[in-house]
Structures are given as C-alpha cells and as structure tokens.
Structure 1
C-alpha cells in the first residue's frame, strides 16, 4: 500500500499481510539506500575536514543511525520471513513496534542535535550542504519508518500464539522459597533463581529511576516501564507464559535499541535480580 503523506500516521487497520509486505519490501530498499547515503556523506565530510566542525551530538546521531539501520534490515528480514511462512508470533509484533519507537526517537534526536547550535553552519559552503542533506534525508527516513508502530498493531491481529519452534532453549524462573515451577517444551531448560520479593523491589526502584532519566525519549521510557511492570506481575503470579512474553519483549528491545536507550540498559544491569531475569 502507499503510505500516508504524514509520517507515522498511516492507518493499516484495513490492510492485508500482502499489503504490509509490499511496504516492508520498499522499506528494505529505502533503508539500504539511506544507510549508504549517510555512510558516503560522513566519509566525504571526514575527507574534507568539515566533519570536525559538525557538533559532536549530531555526529553521534549520524553514526549510530547507520548501526540502527543495519539492525532494522535484520529485523525486517525476520518479520517478512515470519509473514511469508505464516509463523507470526509476539516476537515479530514486538520487533516491529520497537522499530517504530526507535524511529520516533531518532526523528526527535535528529532535530534536537542538528539545531542545538548554529555557529558551525556555513550556508553556501558545499561541505555544509552535505550536512544539510544528511540531516534532511536522514530525518525524513526515520519519519517514514515511524509507521512501523502502526503496522505492529495490525500484525497483532494475525500472529499465532502457538510457537512453531521445537527443541529450543527455555529459560525457566524458580521463584518463592525454593519452589520449582514446572516447565514445558522439549528443549534445553535453563533455570534462573531469583527471589520474588527482591525482584519486585528492584523493579519498583528501577521504575522510579527511569522516570528521572532525561537523555531518553518518553516513548522509550514508557515502553520499557511497561515491560518491567508486566514482568513483575508475571513473577508475582508465577505465570510462566507471561514471563516468557516479557523476556521476549525485553530481548526485542535490546536488539533494536537505539543509541539513546543505552542508559536504560546500564541502569537495569545494576540490579542483580533484574539482570538475572532478563539475562543482561
């Protein structure tokens, strides 16, 4: 289908999986094109010496966006394969949602880092024109990809809650006073011991600290706080299926996390029970 003219506002509610695949194929080509464009642009600026005049924060956004686009390509492939093989699961839905949230975050950071200082801008200079194009085209790309969040909502209507994977590793949680919960699946079982009260308290503490982090967009903070709350509830209720889903969401977040999400990862890693639960 053709996306709407406003980034992040395309309605996919009446679109089929084939319609979604059409957009994803276009996004794969678009991602490869813009990734190469940014790589060549930064190379040109470094060779001319103008790169040193570009503010550090905008340099960081440009470099990290290349890595993020490579991750997007990996995730798009996973999602497209799942759709084509009729094996959509919560993993693909969550990956698509994360792509949309990361795109939203990069859209904000592109504007913020490029506009925070104007002393370096040399209008009319051919090298500065390269920077202008990197900003405009790079930001337009992420504005377009914001629609991934809307696609994820539509994909959730199709996903199969029954896993098609067999003989896979299952990470079981042992909770309570040394009570071992029963597991299922014919794969390898890895048991992780955590104390339920410790985990609950650590989640509460982490939620408060996440609120005070200023370097991360509200969308990213809201998402990871939601995952933590779901994880806490799943542990308190000894709900193995919910635990598995929450861990998958966290792994998807880490796979697609943009540069500005690293502070969240570092914070969670300081909590032993949380780190053990999510295998950080």
Structure 2
C-alpha cells in the first residue's frame, strides 16, 4: 500500500489514481477484518457474561462501529467501481470525504467512551483483554481510515468530465393494489400496472435467486438486496418518498456496478413487476 507510516497522515498529492485505488481496496479488506474481529469479540464477551461489565457508552461505540463499517464497505465499493470504470464524479469525492469525517469522529469516540470509566478494567483478566483488544484494534482502524479525508483532496483531479449517457425517467406512483406507475422517457408516456402482492412475491423470489448467483460479488449482492427489501416495504406502506428514494438508489447503484450491472439488470428484468417498478 502507498499509505504513510503514521495513520491518517498520508500525503496523496504525489500519488496516482492507481496508488489511491490500491489503498482503497486495502481498506475494504481491513474493514472486513476489523468488523469480523469486533463481532467475534462481542460474541465472546456476551457468552462469557462480561459484556454487561463494560460501560454502556463503550458498548454503544462498538456496536455502532459495526454498522459504520458496513456502510464503509458499501461506499468504498461504489468508489472502486467508479475509478475502475473511469466514471469518477463529485459523488464519489463526497463519499470518501464523509468516510474520513466519520473516521475522525469514531477515533475520538473510541478514546472518550473507553476511558471515561476505569472500575470495570481488570488488567490480567482474559475477558478484559478481549475488550481491550477491541478498543486498540478498533481505534487503530479508524485512525487509518482518517486518510480518506486526505484522498478526498486529491480525487477531484481525476473526475471524468466527459458526460455519460443516462436514460432519465420521471416516475409518478399511485399506491395500493393495482398501482399505476407512469414513466416519461424521451417524450413517451407509458403506464404499467403494479400489483402489490405480485411485486412482493417477485422481490422475495429475486432475493433468493441472488443468493445462488456466483457471478455477482457478495457486497453488490448484499447492497442490491437491501434496495429490493426497501422497495417492497415502501410499496406495502404506500410511502411515496421511500419509493422515489429506492428508485434513485437503484439507478445510482447500477451506474456504479460496472460490468456487474448487466447481470443484475438481466436477472431483475426477468420479473415483470420489478422491471416495471424500476423501469428497466
């Protein structure tokens, strides 16, 4: 990796986009490693009855860091895809900047929540050593991820200013069984009926189908499954804002999925209600 010796202090001004891509891919592996370590450590502490001895704020920090790392994994994959496809945009710059900001906040929170109480610390106790290791490894991780802030200052140099053709569609949805989805595409208005029950069944079938596909990356599979579940819930609840948001997320996701987008569209497009909802 091209990172500096001191975590969060790497100078990316003289590094190429390939150097940066190497670091970001390394962050994905590092994030998966620390996330697994944290989850395993928490399970050990719970099984041994020591989890309740740990102050609430530090427990909350550990648990929320896992959610943060899941977000990092999704966001980092979007940035990797954009770089590899030469489609880097301001969106990816902002994503990296946000990762750096969150890392700085978690670095501070780890120190604050771990050190605010001392009575629970039993040096030499094997369970305390597990908790102490979670603190040390977790904080080191977020210190390293602070480098994302430094990368965000370099990435704008690599933004691709050439326009990419995007098929823009405007949606309007009327909810309930027999939903009517209206799409305006290049001046052509069409209406397709969406049955709530059929849509839910198709979502469930598509999610199961995704699990068996070996040609789709695990992180992409996980993220698109989340979008499909959100879409199903939005339609069931008749939430227009949530429906619009799920469609925007799907479009953004497929734009960043690179070569995998074709496989995903072909799979989801085989379900009429899903294809109609997302206007594939």
TM-score by shorter chain over 0.5 = yes
Question: Post-superposition shift, 1:44?
Answer: 0.3
Question: How far apart are the structure 2 equivalents of 1:116 and 1:35?
Answer: 23
Question: How far apart are the structure 1 equivalents of 2:120 and 2:169?
Answer: 52
Q: Which residue of 2 aligns with 1:158?
A: 158
Matched residue of 1:156: which SS? Answer: helix
Is the CA contact 1:167–1:187 (under 8 Å) kept in the aligned structure 2?
no
**CA deviation string 1:211-245 (max 9, x = no partner):** xxxxxxxxxxxxxxxxxxxxxxxxxxxxxxxxxxx
Question: Post-superposition shift, 1:163?
Answer: 5.0
Q: CA RMSD in A?
A: 2.3
Matched residue of 1:76: which SS? Answer: helix
Q: Which residue of 1 aligns with 2:87?
A: 87
**1:146 partnered with 2:146:** yes
Q: Which segment is superposed worse, 15-24 or 162-171?
A: 162-171
Aligned length: 177
Is the CA contact 2:34–2:138 (under 8 Å) kept in the aligned structure 1?
yes
Question: How far apart are the structure 1 equivalents of 2:162 and 2:59?
Answer: 44
Question: How far apart are the structure 1 equivalents of 2:102 and 2:166?
Answer: 31
Moved beyond 6 Å, runs of 4+: none
Question: How far apart are the structure 1 equivalents of 2:124 and 2:132?
Answer: 11
**CA deviation string 1:136-156 (max 9, x = no partner):** 000000000000011111101
**CA deviation string 1:29-83 (max 9, x = no partner):** 1110000000000000000110000010000010010011011010110000000
CA 21–121 in structure 1, closer or farther in 2 if over 3 Å, else same: same
CA 167–108 in structure 1, closer or farther in 2 if over 3 Å, else same: same
Question: Post-superposition shift, 1:158?
Answer: 1.0
**1:100 partnered with 2:100:** yes
Greater RCO structure (CA 8 Å; 6+ sep): 1
Q: Which residue of 1 aligns with 2:167?
A: 167
Q: Which residue of 2 aligns with 1:17?
A: 17
Question: Post-superposition shift, 1:161?
Answer: 4.3
Q: Which residue of 2 aligns with 1:257?
A: none
CA 111–88 in structure 1, closer or farther in 2 if over 3 Å, else same: same
Question: Post-superposition shift, 1:170?
Answer: 7.4
Q: Which residue of 2 aligns with 1:191?
A: none
The runs of 5 or more residues in structure 1 that have no matched partner are: 172-184, 189-247, 249-280
The two structures have a TM-score, normalised by structure 1, of: 0.60
| 1:85-234 map, 5 Å | 85-161=85-161, 163-164=163-164, 166-168=166-168
Question: Post-superposition shift, 1:167?
Answer: 2.6
CA 157–169 in structure 1, closer or farther in 2 if over 3 Å, else same: farther
The two structures have a TM-score, normalised by structure 2, of: 0.60
Is the CA contact 1:90–1:161 (under 8 Å) kept in the aligned structure 2?
no
